Amino acid sequence: MTDPRRHLPGVDRVLASTAFAALLAEHPRQRILHHLRSALDHAREDLARGTDGPPPRIGDLAREVEKALALDRIPSLRPVINATGVVLHTNLGRAPIAPAARSAMARAARGYGNLEFDLERGSRGSRYVHCVQLLRELTGAAAALVVNNAAGALVLGMNTLAAGKEVAVSRGELVEIGGGFRIPEILVRSGVRLREVGSTNRTRIADYEAAFDTGDVAALLKVHRSNFRIEGFTEEAGVAELAKLADRLGVHFFHDLGTGLMMDPAALGLPGEPRVADTLANGAHVVGFSGDKLLGGPQAGILVGRKEPIANMRQNPLCRSLRVDKVTLAGLEATLRLYRDPGRALREIPALRMIASSPEELLGRARRLAAALEARGVEARVSPGSSLVGGGTCPGVTLDTFVVEPTTGARSASAVARRLRRGEPSVLAPVEKDRLGLDLRTVEPQEENLLVERLVRACLPDID
Ligand SMILES: *Cc1c(COP(=O)(O)O)cnc(C)c1O
């Protein structure tokens, strides 16, 4: 008997076939060749393993290659409907961008711009002038600098202010911010020496002061507890106290705030969350925060504060490695501009609007979505639930909401969740106690029809 592998058609014969002529008319030859070779490899392996069945015919190969070509078209990074109720979902890209900022980003991406060009003088300018005026106006800072992200801002700040010297930090703030980003390790990589003060649960101003008796402390660092809480027998030195101490001893005071709240926290139902402006008013020399947390803009690291330290950070060669791109700057500028009218910021910045959505409004939306599902044959009930601000911010804060719980029929809730996740567009929906619970807080109203379509397809047994 001859080796069945010999019955596989050769590449040249396959490519010359009419079935492949149609594919060649529409797709790059290189991609077709790539997929055809792997289809033939698989067939050869199957035949070698003695799998039953005849070798694939040219028509089978064409279908397989066509499927692979279709997969080629799916981008790796794609949109997801976020029905988790976690507003600043780090794994889903944190803050969705405001329409005005999206337009500005598209405009900046489309062509050339005055990123580093002074149009008045007709000579080279600096990318670090953009957003500065707005940031000063909105926070009361004397100076501002925008870099790639807040972790980078901290590295740049520490390296500029205290390279080769000590930085005093409370033991209660030597935390992991997320994704393996640990304050002690970052400080060491920034070229400064860590001087731990106080204890995990209690650090007093006297603990910082004592650090000056020995060593050479060049800066005080306060890290905002943005992603965890310490409860019970606790004490921490406040920003105002630390500022006074830093000024008296003539050292820098950097506050890594992270969250970057610009709005009145009461308007968002987040009492106790410090605003950037308040932190500066309390005396922090430099404050570092993210562009894509409670500010609700694109990913960026923002430094605001006194003139001299910020100017030194701008001069630091590390600044070049952390530099922000034009699309981000355009989006950030447009987002900041919205804050000139706080009412407009609240209406138009998606993260703020989502956080501020009232339970009554969410109940209405949940009921309408449930009714739309029922009309399509998917039973659904509405139950109270809780949403999170997310993004490693506002620990312990939950926002009251209502979730839509569709009946998943013969399929388990997690099987339906998997179908939702893997479909197009992808939908992320939490499962708890074998029930799906969709929180519309993080779903844009214009996504709701699409969400109904996806749910119907994923829940009903006779579709797909
Ligand atoms: C989130 C956070 C950071 C890191 O911000 P990125 O913009 O994600 O780099 C740093 N410090 C604090 C306190 C944070 O909350």
CA distance 237 to 258: 18
- pLDDT score, position 237: 87
pLDDT (tens digit, 9 = 90+) per residue, 84-126? 999 999 999 999 999 999 999 999 999 999 999 999 999 999 9
413 C-beta closer than 6 A to ligand 1? no
What's the 112 CA to ligand 1 centre distance in angstroms?
31
Number of the ligand 1 atom closest to the C-alpha atom of 153: 9
pLDDT at position 3 is 66
Ordered DSSP codes for 134-197:
HHHHHH--SEEEEES-HHHHHHHHHHHHHTTSEEEEEGGG--EEETTEEHHHHHHHTT-EEEEE
Residues lower than pLDDT 70 in the chain: 1-5, 51-52, 462-464
The number of the ligand 1 atom at minimal distance from the alpha carbon of 154 is: 10
pLDDT attached to residue 395: 79
Distance CA 67, CA 284 (A): 58
Q: What is the pLDDT of residue 393?
A: 79
177 lines ligand 1 (CB under 6 A): yes
Neighbour order of strands in the sheet with 380-390? 380-390, 393-406, 438-439
Nearest residue by C-alpha to atom 13 in ligand 1: 258
Angle at 332 between CA 330 and CA 334, to 5 degrees: 70
Say if ligand 1 is within 6 A of residue 348 CB: no
pLDDT given for residue 448 in this prediction: 97
Q: Is 229:359 a contact under the CB 8 Å cutoff? A: no
pLDDT of amino acid 463: 55
Does the pTM surpass 0.95? The reply is no
Amino acid (one-letter) located at 368: R
pLDDT digits (tens, 9 = 90+) for 208-243: 999 998 889 999 999 998 777 777 888 888 999 999
Can you give the pLDDT at residue 464?
Answer: 52
Three-class SS state of 314: helix
Expressed in angstroms and rounded, the spacing between residue 289 Cα and the centre of ligand 1 is 6
By most ligand atoms within 8 Å of CB, the mutation choice from 90, 181, 332 for ligand 1 is 181
Report pLDDT for 61.
94
In this predicted model, what pLDDT tens digit does every residue of 254-291 receive, in sequence order? 999 999 999 999 999 998 899 999 999 999 999 999 99
Q: Is the CB of 301 under 6 A from ligand 1?
A: yes
Beta-bridge partner residues of 62: none
Q: Is the CB of 260 under 6 A from ligand 1?
A: no
Q: 151: Cβ below 6 Å to ligand 1?
A: yes
Question: Half-sphere exposure of residue 340, counting CA atoms within 13 Å on the CB side?
Answer: 9
For ligand 1, atom 1, name the residue with the nearest CA.
258
User: Apex CA 371: angle with CA 369 and CA 375, to 5°?
Assistant: 115
Cα(236)–Cα(162) distance, integer angstroms: 23
User: 88 CB less than 6 Å from ligand 1?
Assistant: no
